Structure 1
Amino acid sequence: MQMQALNAVFEKQSGSIVFDGKYTNEYEAIKLLHTLHNRPTHERIIREFLTALEQLHHVESTGVASQRLREEGNQKYKSSSGDKELLLSACRLYTEAILTAENANNELCLAYANRGMALQDYGYYRQAYDDCACALEFGYPKKLHHKLIMRQAYCAWKLGNLELLEEHIHSLRGMQLNESFQRQLLELQENVQHLTQHKGAIEEQPVSAGESSVHQIVNEASSRGRYMIAKERIPQGSIIFTESAECFVPLEKHLICQQCAATQLIPIPCPNCHKRVVYCSRQCRERHKSIHKYECAAYKRDLLHMLGISHLALRLVLTYLPLLTPQLQKQRNASELWHTFISLANDDNDDDITAPQYLKTLRMITHLDKVSETELTYHMLCANLLRAYLFECTDFFDQFADTSAPSEDWQLFIAACILRSSGQLMVNGHVGDAIMPITLGLKEFTLLQPKLWDRPHHLQLGSLHKFSAFQLVTAMNLPHLSLCNHSCIPSIRTKFEGRSVVNYALRDIEANEEIFNCYTGDCKTTTFKERRKQLKNTFKFHCCCVNCRRQHPDEEYFMFETYRCENPNCRQTFVPAEKSRNWWKQLDGDVLICDVCKEAQNVYWYEDFLVLFEYYPNPKYRRELFKEFERMSNHILNYHVIKLYWANEIVNKAFNALKEGCPLDDVDYEEIVCIIRWQLDGITMRYGPNSIEYITKLTYLWDLIALGKYKCCTKKMQTMLDTLKFMASEPKNIFLNYYHDFIEQHCTSD
């Protein structure tokens, strides 16, 4: 409904926009909107739209709902008696109470206090400490403050933070404490001496990788623009460079930390955002305040997810504008503001490697001059809507009250900046992925899943395969990575580490060789036609990389689409025509025809396989299914997409059978192991041995090793362990814990 309303607003506005001549720049495009004769009507339409998006918030009703959830959590907590699953179940209910309470502070503080108690019992000490601080922040009864400060002191001791422990002990000494709390205080004082001797340090959040260049050099040529070359030979697997994104936004309403992009968190929400913005810690919430204070009202209206890349463009402006304002505050009008801004973007005095990220961002290319008028109009209207939002719903423009230019000119300038950033991000933005538990909903949090964990960051036996999925979770601004030109045969692989990236060499890169990224699927996962279309539509160029200049640019892709003709008089290999390539996904679709003898294929083997798959629980049919899976190789070659797909389905079926109590014997496990190993070889061929696709599917094999169903030699295991360096630290630590808890003991020396 909201998208329909937005489309209706844009439709009303776009009808009066008439472009006169060739596109000039973002400022002139926005000025066109600001000089329309019916602009007052446009402004009224936007104000009505923003007002209609407002969602009423009844503190009393949310408080009642939060209280009910908290009381349910109390029941779980009281019955837990040390049971880890019940403790996490209580934490989930307390979390729902926190999210539901929003700014009903009388309930919010109680929910935080109770969750902190349960988290402390479970062993999440840093999160429990933060919860106690949040409870105090939102008005926890003063007469009970000693309870929370005692918990904070205990958590500080567990975290090894001597300074905080001494601070809380000092506070407790000045309070009236009963005998029980006096005993606890004495124990904590003894712990001070222990920490003093060991000089412990508090558990810290992982430090984001700063931007650093290990091997590369950036050049610029007038005919090609900026690009990246190696100044020395870079061996395969080496880190080329790292970069930390100063700006990112979550995708698809994912509830990840808005400051550090942590995906595995126990949420601390903004209490005003209707459950739409969360952080992994109070520290991250505080650090993000300068941005969120201008986005909060938009999140309350659920506005930002409708605007796609324009949201990230807005965040770029909010982040970088304070760095630019000192150079803009004396400009007298929008035109002067814009020309000063552009002069900064065109100033190449700073070396590309050492320049601040905001300058690198200003210099990113934009292709707004190449888009259609319809697409340009859409981005203009998005930028103008965000300008109106900042003016109508926030105090954003108050910061320019003492500058030379009037508010109206600042509004025009800011809209132009948002439009420019949108154009840059269309061709320079990146999307970050993260390994996530399968079937985890958008409103669920990994660390609070009772059936997943044995203790903090240690999975239950047989649960690693639940991390066999990955999702795109962030849109990021990475101007240094954007210097890498496109190739359908990339030479780098990017690991997303929260809001940072680490870029590895996919192969040996020679000195003075250009370093390439891939903006689409590569030549093994997409066709030349698909890539050409996407590159033209989005990036406005035709690729001329080594692969695209080949006589047969789809040769590597067709390795996974090749059949052997069933006609005994032919038996030649062939790749089907494009229209029938996906015949197996819907059997009543296009017929598979050999392009050599032109004979239609019977595909009886595939139909037989589907029937056997339906009867998987029956041991007799299951054994026949395994045989039929092997016999597929008589009809499809190499690591065909059909066989890779069904390998995944068979493995999933096996693990679902285990979950449902269906008995599998040693022969079954042996077959499943063979299928997984074949699948991993196929994934290695298509995506690479260090790909996220390989790592996530590795989880099934590790679970079978952990369950004692497969013995793996230490050499093969070390090869698998080596791939973990290409994982983000959050899931990597979980994988390593699982290895030490359950797998190491099952490895053999053979």
Structure 2
Amino acid sequence: MASSTSSARGNNKAATTNTTAATAPVSTASSAAVSGSGATSAAATASAPPAVTLSELIGQQLKHLNADELLHKDELQLLLLITPVQRQKLSRNLEDGDLEASTSAAPLSRPENGEEDDDLIGAVGGLGISSPTTTKEPVLDFRPHVLKWFQHLRHQTGHFKSEEESRRLREAGNDSYRKERHPLKASDLFTEAIFLAPARNTLAAALAHANRSLVLFDCGLYAESYDDCLCALDLGYPEEYLPLIKLRQAACALKLRNFALCEEHLHELLHIELNQVFEARTHELWHQCEVLKVERFEMAVQTGDDLDINDSKAFEIAWLDNSSSLHTTRAVAKNALIFESEAVAMVPSGNCRVCDYCGITQFIPFPCIYCSNRLVVYCSRQCRFKHAAIHAVECFGHQIELFESFGEVFGMPRLLQLAFRMLITGLPELLGHCRKKPTLSKLWSAINGGLQERQDIAYSAVLRLERLKEERPTDTVIALALAAHILSIYLSKCTTFFDQLEKSLPTASRMSSAEWELLCAALLMRHIGQLRHRSLTACRSFVLPADPHVFSPLNEFQLWAAPMRLQEGHLHLLAGEVAVVSYSVYPDTLNLCRHSCSSTICAKFSGRTVTALALLDLPAGSGIYNCFAGGNFQQLPREERTKQLLESGIRCHCNACQLTHSDDQFHKFHRYRCDNPNCMEIFTPNALPHAPSLRWWLSEEYTQPEFNGADLIMCPHCGEYQKLEWFWAFTTSLIDCELIEERCKLYAAIERAENQLMDLHECKVALARLLLEQCLMVHRAHVSLLVAHLFRFLIYRFIEFIQIIHII
């Protein structure tokens, strides 16, 4: 499966940074302005400001905003203070409590020049973006600059796809399937052809979907093959080949035992003029369908009455210090299930290809044909259908790579996208419960009051989440508010979202676009504050790489024996590492847990679902605690945990932090014996500049051959640097361990490591993983004797690693 574009990789890299990076101040350094390539006329170019980058756009606003003057009591007031001068009347009306929309005045969110650029019309759910030619206050009213920036993004991403390249890959897939008889390679080539097919001419994508459906059918992936057939038909598959697709649909339905669907497609075929071959195949399928229907029998199904089900919840929401938290309702045994829930909002992290709706990884992606770099993929058409309402609002943003562009300024653009998704998912549902048409002031009061307390509205649970509250606005807060304003302008100018909101309310009067912009920007700002506090959940998992064949560039597709089946001895190539696959919000469960560095639950993620298991026996009424730092007291020292928590507005006073020697548990996994024969003292090294949490074996700054361990770890007792020659001998001998000489060096290196790495040292886990991977690689070469020796060595010498893996 081919990877995304290089620009997408860069954006994904920004998305994987630590959560606290999103709070970093915005750089105000100016770079060269990039003028939009789609200027409509010389007059417009002369009057309108040139297109600038996002960092310049926000940096210019920060220069003219005084943080000391932006004192506010809530998000709506802050947005009123930083929005354009034209909204001063709206601000005064809000203070007077009268925000009735004036139908005689022009909508404040619309530009003065109503001409639209057809090139900026969104392919899915999009409206034209207008290009204003004049503005009264170019310093404060940065809407024209935002619209120009949207134009620039549109022109910048308009030429990503290539019909010629898509055709070339499709032909290569045909050759791979017919000549090489390699279905997985053909499937990957067809997938890449789909990703590169242009949106304006969907025939290329239709042909690639149709070709892939044949390969998937031969591989036994009938549901995916049927979905590909539907995609091909939706995208304009040629009519002359219609019988071929309909036959394949009928065959897939038959294999899936959906007899009604199979007969439906066969009836369609009977109304088409078929040649002799197709007619014979149609009658053959009809006969098979009738035979299978006769042979079908009913299976005994166990009913719910026969099952021993305990429906009582193991937790409840309790209130403490004007905030909610989770407590157990009954005694919970160790390793027992406490809760399981689905995220109300989720966005993929970009580290691997996951379904944008359900969050699972897959081999057969179904991308949105309109999104620019095909970052939005689904595991099936069913997931794509369920996510259609949300994606219709986001699609044009993906076409211009809007969300990825925030990575230019903010360390974690996925945080902004998740806040955006929280808004567009929940606000329409909330407005549906309003009994009468509210004004902006009344609606905002209701959101902070009665609507927030409703238990029957899912979005109300999101509004109740705690948020990061800063005593005074900073450049970071103002920059995030400006980002929220940009997203609200996007909703106003590029989508029909505000029209959907109007339909959710009684038809008494209209709220202006300016009022909807203010409301949405204020709610976005609130969600950003919630995510910056502790509501952002990084879903970690062992994941399949986005491109499995990158491990073997010379023999790309020899990794697989068949789809979903690896070649023997290749498992280590897909073992992967624990990576953040998505970011989610769980407002009723995980996000309500109290923080403790010694958490009482173990959270496991599967797609959108989180499952929490008890780490110890919990009596009834116990608080349910989770660690909201990057690691618990066994994984991070107290100083590093405290720094991360303070950036999220959390002051921890848990038992683990109150201990006199609070880092003893952390040091237990990082204790060394000095290799100086005149010292031999046991110590824990000081912080290493290029190795977070003392894991130097993961840092290229310490593991490159030219460094050779020099000046790495110093013994505090004698001042000698540790040589660590056993590590370099181990990594060198591991490469050629099929040779007896290298195996002897390998065993000797492990013996020396055992003498220097004390107790349950975390580096032993790294050595064990490397050794296990090499065992599998040697097993592929059928060196069974070495495999037996290495596994026996693992069992006897590294038996304690199992304990570490469960702890870390």
TM-score (norm 1): 0.81
For residues 649 and 152 of structure 1, the distance between their equivalents in structure 2, rounded to whole angstroms, comes to 46
1:555/1:241 CA distance change after superposition, 3 Å: same
3-state SS, counterpart of residue 236 of structure 1: coil
| More deviation, 408-417/225-234 | 225-234
3-state SS, counterpart of residue 145 of structure 2: helix
| More deviation, 64-73/671-680 | 671-680
Matched, 1:30 2:127: no
Give the corresponding residue for 2:755.
Answer: 634
1:415-494 paired onto structure 2 within 5 Å: 415-426=521-532, 427-437=534-544, 440=547, 450-469=557-576, 470-480=578-588, 481-494=590-603
Matched, 1:613 2:726: no
> Could you list the per-position Cα deviations for residues 1-28 of structure 1 after superposition, in whole angstroms to 9, with x for gaps in the alignment?
9997221211011122224264411111
What is the CA-CA distance between 1:319 and the residue it aligns to? 0.6
Write the letter of the residue equivalent to 2:561: D
Give the corresponding residue for 2:376.
Answer: 277
Matched, 1:645 2:741: no
What is the CA-CA distance between 1:682 and the residue it aligns to? 2.0
CA contact 1:387–1:415 (8 Å) conserved in 2: yes
Matched, 1:154 2:283: no
Write the letter of the residue equivalent to 1:535: L
Give the corresponding residue for 1:666.
Answer: 785
> Could you list the per-position Cα deviations for residues 138-172 of structure 1 after superposition, in whole angstroms to 9, with x for gaps in the alignment?
11122321111110111111111122112112212
Matched, 1:389 2:490: yes
For residues 335 and 289 of structure 1, the distance between their equivalents in structure 2, rounded to whole angstroms, comes to 31
| More deviation, 626-635/406-415 | 626-635
What is the CA-CA distance between 1:336 and the residue it aligns to? 2.4
3-state SS, counterpart of residue 260 of structure 1: coil
For residues 431 and 727 of structure 2, the distance between their equivalents in structure 1, rounded to whole angstroms, comes to 66
Matched, 1:7 2:116: no
For residues 154 and 200 of structure 1, the distance between their equivalents in structure 2, rounded to whole angstroms, comes to 21
What is the CA-CA distance between 1:541 and the residue it aligns to? 2.1
> Could you list the per-position Cα deviations for residues 509-554 of structure 1 after superposition, in whole angstroms to 9, with x for gaps in the alignment?
222221111112011111111111101112x122122211222111
1:200/1:553 CA distance change after superposition, 3 Å: farther
3-state SS, counterpart of residue 561 of structure 2: strand
1:353-364 paired onto structure 2 within 5 Å: 355-364=456-465
Matched, 1:546 2:665: no
> Could you list the per-position Cα deviations for residues 10-65 of structure 1 after superposition, in whole angstroms to 9, with x for gaps in the alignment?
10111222242644111111111225474664112211111111146779973222
Write the letter of the residue equivalent to 2:528: S
Give the corresponding residue for 1:91.
Answer: 187
Give the corresponding residue for 1:127.
Answer: 224
Write the letter of the residue equivalent to 2:183: L
CA contact 2:726–2:753 (8 Å) conserved in 1: no
What is the CA-CA distance between 1:187 and the residue it aligns to? 2.5
Matched, 1:528 2:528: no
- The count of residues paired between Structure 1 and Structure 2 equals 661
Matched, 1:409 2:458: no
Alignment match of 1:497 (pick from 592, 606, 609): 606
1:548/1:57 CA distance change after superposition, 3 Å: closer
| More deviation, 29-38/63-72 | 29-38
CA contact 1:612–1:621 (8 Å) conserved in 2: no
CA contact 2:206–2:235 (8 Å) conserved in 1: yes
What is the CA-CA distance between 1:484 and the residue it aligns to? 0.8
What is the CA-CA distance between 1:102 and the residue it aligns to? 3.3
For residues 569 and 60 of structure 1, the distance between their equivalents in structure 2, rounded to whole angstroms, comes to 64
CA contact 1:253–1:276 (8 Å) conserved in 2: no
Alignment match of 2:647 (pick from 537, 542, 550): 537
Give the corresponding residue for 2:623.
Answer: 514
Gaps of 5+ in 2: 1-6, 12-30, 32-52, 87-136, 299-309, 407-412
> Could you list the per-position Cα deviations for residues 483-515 of structure 1 after superposition, in whole angstroms to 9, with x for gaps in the alignment?
111111111111211111121122222222211
Alignment match of 2:169 (pick from 65, 69, 72): 69
CA contact 1:109–1:136 (8 Å) conserved in 2: yes
CA contact 1:609–1:628 (8 Å) conserved in 2: yes
For residues 163 and 617 of structure 2, the distance between their equivalents in structure 1, rounded to whole angstroms, comes to 60
Give the corresponding residue for 1:684.
Answer: 803
Q: Among all aligned residue pairs of Structure 1 and Structure 2, give the percentage whose two residues are the same amino acid.
A: 29
3-state SS, counterpart of residue 248 of structure 1: strand
3-state SS, counterpart of residue 343 of structure 1: coil
Give the corresponding residue for 1:747.
Answer: none
What is the CA-CA distance between 1:579 and the residue it aligns to? 4.8
What is the CA-CA distance between 1:475 and the residue it aligns to? 0.9
For residues 526 and 594 of structure 2, the distance between their equivalents in structure 1, rounded to whole angstroms, comes to 21
For residues 549 and 341 of structure 1, the distance between their equivalents in structure 2, rounded to whole angstroms, comes to 39
Give the corresponding residue for 1:728.
Answer: none
> Could you list the per-position Cα deviations for residues 414-456 of structure 1 after superposition, in whole angstroms to 9, with x for gaps in the alignment?
1111111111122211111232235837999xxx984344344
1:536/1:442 CA distance change after superposition, 3 Å: farther
1:575/1:172 CA distance change after superposition, 3 Å: same
1:36-435 paired onto structure 2 within 5 Å: 36=85, 38=137, 41-55=141-155, 62-80=162-180, 83=181, 86-103=182-199, 104-197=201-294, 199=296, 215-223=313-321, 225-252=323-350, 254-274=352-372, 275-305=374-404, 306=406, 307-327=413-433, 330-331=436-437, 333-344=439-450, 346-347=452-453, 350=455, 355-370=456-471, 373-400=474-501, 403-426=509-532, 427-435=534-542
Which of the pair is proportionally richer in helix? 1
Write the letter of the residue equivalent to 1:264: Q
> Could you list the per-position Cα deviations for residues 619-672 of structure 1 after superposition, in whole angstroms to 9, with x for gaps in the alignment?
31332222221232222211213333233334444545666x5x7461454125
What is the CA-CA distance between 1:188 and the residue it aligns to? 1.8
What is the CA-CA distance between 1:473 and the residue it aligns to? 1.2
Gaps of 5+ in 1: 202-211, 694-750
CA contact 1:329–1:404 (8 Å) conserved in 2: no
> Could you list the per-position Cα deviations for residues 573-613 of structure 1 after superposition, in whole angstroms to 9, with x for gaps in the alignment?
32223359567736666564444xx2134634x22441453
Write the letter of the residue equivalent to 2:527: S
1:228/1:489 CA distance change after superposition, 3 Å: same
For residues 570 and 61 of structure 1, the distance between their equivalents in structure 2, rounded to whole angstroms, comes to 64
For residues 549 and 479 of structure 2, the distance between their equivalents in structure 1, rounded to whole angstroms, comes to 28
| More deviation, 264-273/455-464 | 455-464
1:317/1:279 CA distance change after superposition, 3 Å: same
Give the corresponding residue for 2:666.
Answer: 557
CA contact 1:267–1:279 (8 Å) conserved in 2: yes
For residues 441 and 207 of structure 2, the distance between their equivalents in structure 1, rounded to whole angstroms, comes to 53
1:667/1:467 CA distance change after superposition, 3 Å: closer
| More deviation, 174-183/313-322 | 174-183
TM-score (norm 2): 0.76
